[in-house]
């Protein structure tokens, strides 16, 4: 799925993105939705990357989410009871215990991208799209146009920290854009108080890691390669400096080996990875729906690196320096980004991060 995102960042993305500024949160004005409290504080207006406005006269009551990421955010915000359907549903047991049962009760409109006709006929008044315009292939037709969304009575907004990544004017090195998304979703859904709690928790966790690794100079921090196993092994997909993963890696006290790549994703060659010779490799696999299935995927990714002639000589491979952390929590905006920062740091700086 994500391999298509980098190629799809076109003008079609400008259709109601959350918060302000693309990327690291420093490219725009103050968030127009920030500070809105509950439904009594509506109307709430949010802007897209071009400054176009989407206004909510009241909190939405029937929400469809594009995938597990936006669904999880709504569940965490306490707006999960408003979700009437989702695409790319989370596998049973893949979300934290307190969220899993509620996630499993949400109607699955598609195991992948929601077909156009089903989305427009869902009865939703809001569709939250984690990514920019995507080719809804596999015989499912094209993505709805903004005119079609409007005719169906559906407001269409995106998680801006992900959808606007490729258009960011500067590298993303912090989670402020993710926090802006959470703040904006809280304003739109009337759950601002809970949004503030989530953002505060993320900041506290990340600040603790920053303090723990601060004594290590930039030039001495370990180099790090995110191996997107599911994007294919023939030609690796690198996460570049506009992707939220770059922020996660940087905040954890590591150096993304493809931080010199402007954009969100870029296909590179294994010769490029070999030239970087990373100290650590994250085995980034997408959630398979169970711990056993995930472990199998991690094992497959590791075995491929260890047996492929082009990669078995890499420093990280020879020394067995692998991290088994899922793709979604690293590359898609969410509260778990902060958890991933902490998890990476604990591995790279044993004993220093609590």
Of residues 274, 286, 279, the one with CA closest to residue 229: 286
Alpha-carbon span 281 to 244, nearest angstrom: 17
pLDDT of the residue at 290: 80
pLDDT of the residue at 240: 95
Alpha-carbon span 328 to 284, nearest angstrom: 8
CB 227 within 8 A of CB 236: yes
Q: What is the token pair recorded at 45? A: 């207006």
Residue 20 has pLDDT above 70, yes or no: no
Residue 137 has pLDDT above 50, yes or no: no
Higher-pLDDT residue of 124, 37: 124
pLDDT of the residue at 97: 79
If you search the block for the tokens 């047991």, which residue do you land on? Answer: 93
DSSP β-bridge partners for residue 239 = 265
pLDDT of the residue at 50: 66
pLDDT of the residue at 22: 37
pLDDT range class, residue 218, cuts 50, 70, 90: very high
Alpha-carbon span 150 to 242, nearest angstrom: 31
Q: Is the dihedral of CA 285, 6, 137, 85 positive or negative?
A: positive
């Amino acid at each position: 799925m994500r391999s298509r995102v980098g190629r799809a960042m076109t003008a079609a993305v400008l259709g109601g993105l959350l918060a302000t500024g693309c990327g690291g949160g420093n490219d725009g004005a103050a968030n127009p939705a920030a500070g809105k409290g509950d439904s009594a504080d509506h109307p709430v207006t949010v802007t897209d990357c071009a400054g176009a406005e989407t206004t909510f006269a009241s909190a939405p009551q029937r929400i469809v989410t594009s995938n597990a990421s936006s669904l999880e955010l709504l569940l965490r915000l306490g707006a999960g009871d408003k979700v009437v359907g989702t695409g790319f549903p989370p596998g049973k047991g893949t979300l934290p215990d307190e969220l899993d049962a509620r996630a499993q009760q949400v109607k699955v409109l598609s195991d992948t991208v929601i077909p156009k006709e089903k989305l427009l006929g869902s009865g939703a008044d809001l569709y939250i799209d984690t990514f920019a315009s995507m080719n809804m292939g596999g015989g499912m037709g094209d993505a709805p146009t903004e005119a079609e969304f409007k005719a169906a009575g559906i407001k269409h907004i995106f998680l801006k920290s992900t959808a606007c990544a490729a258009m960011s004017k500067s590298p993303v090195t912090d989670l402020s854009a993710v926090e802006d998304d959470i703040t904006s979703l809280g304003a739109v859904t009337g759950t601002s108080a809970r949004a503030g709690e989530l953002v505060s928790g993320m900041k506290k966790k990340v600040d603790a890691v920053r303090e723990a690794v601060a004594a290590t100079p930039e030039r001495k921090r370990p180099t790090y390669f995110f191996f997107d196993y599911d994007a294919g092994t023939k030609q690796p997909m690198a996460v570049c400096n506009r992707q939220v993963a770059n922020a996660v890696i940087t905040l954890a006290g590591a150096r993304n080996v493809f931080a010199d790549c402007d954009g969100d994703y870029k296909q590179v060659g294994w010769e490029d990875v070999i030239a970087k010779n990373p100290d650590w490799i994250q085995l980034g696999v997408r959630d398979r729906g169970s711990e056993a299935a995930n472990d199998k995927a991690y094992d497959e990714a590791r075995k491929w690196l260890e047996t492929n002639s082009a990669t078995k000589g890499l420093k990280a491979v020879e020394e067995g320096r692998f991290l088994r952390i899922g793709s979604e929590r690293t590359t898609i905006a969410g509260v778990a980004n902060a958890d991933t920062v902490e998890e990476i740091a604990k591995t790279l700086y044993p004993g220093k991060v609590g």
